[in-house]
Amino acid sequence: MFDDRTDAGNQLADALVERGIEADVVLGIPRGALPIARPVADALEADLDVVVARKLGAPSNPELALGAVASDGSVWLNESVIAHLNVDDAIIEDTREREAENAATKAARYRDGDDLPDLEGKRVVIVDDGVATGATAIACLRQVRAADCEFVMLAVPVGSPDSVSRLETEADEVFALQTPRWFQAVGQFYRDFGQVSDEEAMTYLDRP
């Protein structure tokens, strides 16, 4: 159990330093990842910024992910779920466009309107507070990989073993402090897993 996100971030930071990970930029996935990404960025002496993605909810169950889309339109679709639910292509495209716009709006708010920093040739570590389905993490990884960085890693305190394994095809390296077989939800591994507001999350970011 982690006490809270800051405790998880400190433990994750220590583990990455011990593994010899080097990074130019750490990207947290808002909102919950920012308290974790801050100690990671500090330990790796890297800049801290954000990468934003939104889940594509199923028409009949918004909590069920058809996939996810990042702020630049990078998308991952869960084809097995889409086929099982027989979701029409037009619905998927409408949802993708809407959520990509929402993600871009959120990213602009966190960066005061600026674009994703130049990642070409950089070593990048993406941080989240945990991985359940991995949908948003995949969309974020695809956006970052498209930016021609030298190396991209996903680092999380805890994740579903199946999802962590699937994510290994999307990143140069994936690291999770814990991958318990009895994984049900990210929050079960935190004593305090309260919601993080946008205002609080932005206080962790580097500002000029």
pLDDT in tens, 76-115: 998 989 999 999 899 999 999 999 999 999 999 998 877 7
Of 25, 28, 52, 17, the C-alpha closest to 122 is 25
Whether residue 208 is contained in a domain is answered as: no
Calculate the average pLDDT of the chain: 92
**Same domain for 124 and 31:** yes
Is the predicted pLDDT of residue 186 greater than 70, yes or no?
yes
pTM for the predicted model, two decimal places: 0.92
pLDDT score of 207: 55
Q: How far apart are CA 50 and CA 93, in angstroms?
A: 25
**Same domain for 94 and 191:** no
Burial (Cβ within 10 Å: 0-12, 13-18, ≥19) of residue 91: middle
- Residues spanned by the domain of 66: 54-110
pLDDT score of 179: 94
**Same domain for 141 and 91:** no
Q: pLDDT tens for residues 41-64?
A: 999 999 999 999 999 988 888 888
Whether residue 84 is contained in a domain is answered as: yes
pLDDT score of 63: 80
CA dihedral angle for residue 93, residue 148, residue 42, residue 189, rounded to 10 degrees? 40
CATH number, domain with residue 126: 3.40.50.2020
**Same domain for 167 and 125:** yes
**Same domain for 128 and 47:** yes
CATH number, domain with residue 87: 3.30.1310.20
**Same domain for 70 and 48:** no
pLDDT score of 208: 45
Residue 124, helix vs strand vs coil: strand
| 22, 52 contact by CB (below 8 A) | no
Task: Count up the domains in the chain and report the number.
Answer: 2
**Same domain for 86 and 65:** yes
| 92, 57 contact by CB (below 8 A) | no
Q: pLDDT tens for residues 124-183?
A: 999 999 999 899 999 999 999 999 999 999 999 999 999 999 999 999 999 999 999 999
Q: How far apart are CA 101 and CA 112, in angstroms?
A: 16
Tokens, residue 29: 């996935």
Residue that is last in its domain, among 110, 135, 153: 110
Residue 183, helix vs strand vs coil: coil
**Same domain for 129 and 198:** yes
